[in-house]
Amino acid sequence: MLFHVRMDVSLPHGMSEAEAEVLKRVEREKAQALQAEGKWRHLWRIVGQYSNVSVFDVENAEELHQLLTGLPLFPYMTIQVMPLCRHPSSIHADDR
């Protein structure tokens, strides 16, 4: 099942730069591992914001919830989720 997910990150102003860098590194490693597994299909930065738009390919909403809540930056995110399905006017036979 495909989900469109927008993630807006807001780190606390009091967080040290060193702590933020460690958190970002661990987040990057987790995101890249999920991409390698095929669960995090697309990852796009939103220009000028500490935000991204992503497409996840998971079994169901519960699996997506577990993945998102397991992200190191999750406590600092505002997340919007939209389930996706194929549009009947799409000319593509796959989910590219």
DSSP string, 31-42: HHHHHHTTSEEE
Structural domain contains residue 89: no
The CATH code of the domain that includes 72 is: 3.30.70.1060
Examine residue 95 and state whether it is found in any structural domain, yes or no.
Answer: no
Is 92 inside a domain boundary? Answer: no
Assign residue 63 a region (left: φ > 0; alpha: ψ between -120 and 50; beta: otherwise): alpha
Domain interval for residue 58: 2-84
pLDDT in tens, the chain (96 residues): 999 999 999 999 999 999 999 999 999 999 999 999 999 999 999 999 999 999 999 999 999 999 999 999 999 999 999 999 888 898 887 765
Residue 27 within any structural domain of the chain: yes
Measured distance CA(78)–CA(49) in Å, rounded = 13
Domain count, the chain: 1
What pTM does this model have? Answer: 0.90
Examine residue 40 and state whether it is found in any structural domain, yes or no. Answer: yes
Confirm whether 90 is domain-assigned.
no
Q: Is residue 91 assigned to a domain? A: no
Is 67 within a domain? yes
Could you tell me if 80 and 5 are in contact, meaning their C-beta atoms sit under 8 angstroms apart? yes
